Structure 1
Amino acid sequence: MSDINIVFTRVDNRLVHGQVGNVWVTASGANLILVVDDETCNDELSKSLMKMTADAVGVQIRFFSIKKTIEIIGKAAPSQKIFIVAKTPQVIEQLVDGGVPIKHCNIGNMHKSEGKHILHEVHVYVDDQDEACLKRLKEKGVDVYIQITPNDRKYKI
């Protein structure tokens, strides 16, 4: 699976929205957004809204479950420059454990919710499970960092 052209991987609990579509897709040079989320791949309304964002920036978009991503990503064409986006770091860890060659993981928006505390001043809230997952990703060789937009400073975790 190492020949897969994954150009960017991001955790963002909003998945695909204006910031991802207009800023990160352009900065990464991606031509395909791969939304990996078991729930969203069955939610037609969410998919249609995200597809509008992808269409507006001229890239393809796919919606796969974690299992399907692991099974099918090895069939990606070399011309596909893949931008993976998931809601949680746990999804990224499952992909890595399933053999998806993710080398870098940008932590974007992880919003405040019950039981979460601030990890970084700009929209990154985690609980103990999130922190443990981020640590495991680093131990597995993934460069994990916080950067909200490409023009912002990178914060190593």
Structure 2
Amino acid sequence: MPFDYDLDFDSIDFREHPELYRVGRGEQGVLLVEPYKGEILPHWRFKSPEEAKKSSEKIYEMFLTYKKEDDFVGMDMARKFIQMGYTRARRYANYKGGRKYDKSGEINEREIDHEKAQSASIFEEKWKIVREDEEYLEKKKHHQKKYG
């Protein structure tokens, strides 16, 4: 099980206890893992391409800082926020208000918002860079082997 939701995430400092961190799939746990959530979330924006560019560059800079500090959990959390920038911007690009489904559970008709699509593209570029970073992949493999 990638995340143990029985843990009291509010009381865990994952920088001090990286052994409790599980990589998970995609963006899983992105809003649970402190102190990283508190460090990265204030910079996460995708409303406009300008905000997306500034945000993705800042979060990528944080990824590189975590990398320099040999902090895999920080690297993975930065990756998750960059990935989430892409997926959320893409959702808002495709559906007005970001709502894929209506109240009855039917899929809403797509209405392409080109500005949000551009924001998604900006985050996607950074996401490709971080998810293919060789040192990140090596640290991920090591972390999963050591801690699960």
TM range (shorter): under 0.3
Q: TM-score, normalised by structure 1?
A: 0.25
Counting helix residues as a fraction of each chain, which structure ranks higher? 2
Which has the higher relative contact order, 1 or 2, with Cα contacts under 8 A spaced 6 or more apart?
1
Counting strand residues as a fraction of each chain, which structure ranks higher? 1
Q: TM-score, normalised by structure 2?
A: 0.26
Larger Rg: 2
